[in-house]
Amino acid sequence: MRITILRGGGLPGIVARTELDTAALPKTAAKAFASEVARANLGECPAPPTANPWPDAQLYELRVEESGPVINVRYTEQSLPESVRLLVAWVDGRPEKVESIET
């Protein structure tokens, strides 16, 4: 399984990419990764459109690829569910993640 998190907008308007692949993780972390993704309910509860965006708030896109269909969902800071915020924080906390700035 592979997750790609894009964060854009925000005060700087910079687009940051964070990627994490199961293949890079130790076995126990890989299991935890799967469970964090499942708990985030990405496919089941996607973001509602935001009518009045908060100025400078970040926009998020999460893409999860595994054996089934690709899950690709977008959130705003306003619509980001707590479960997805926790998933993003979990990925951010992994030393195996790969980060880059999109230009």
Q: What is the binding site for another protein (CB under 8 A)? A: 6-16, 39, 41, 43-50, 52-61, 65, 68-78, 80-83, 85, 89, 92-93, 99, 101-103
Phi first, then psi, for residue 65 (nearest 5°) are -115, 125
How far, in Å, CA of 21 to CA of 65, rounded? 9
Toward another protein, which CB reaches closer, 26 or 49? 49
* Angstrom distances, CA of residue 56 to CA of 30, 60, 61, 103: 34, 13, 16, 19
Coil, strand, or helix at residue 33? helix
Toward another protein, which CB reaches closer, 35 or 99? 99
Toward another protein, which CB reaches closer, 15 or 34? 15
> Residue 84 CB, nearest distance to another protein (Å)?
9
> Residue 34 CB, nearest distance to another protein (Å)?
17
* Nearest alpha-carbon partner for 80 in 55, 48, 52, 32: 48
> Residue 42 CB, nearest distance to another protein (Å)?
10
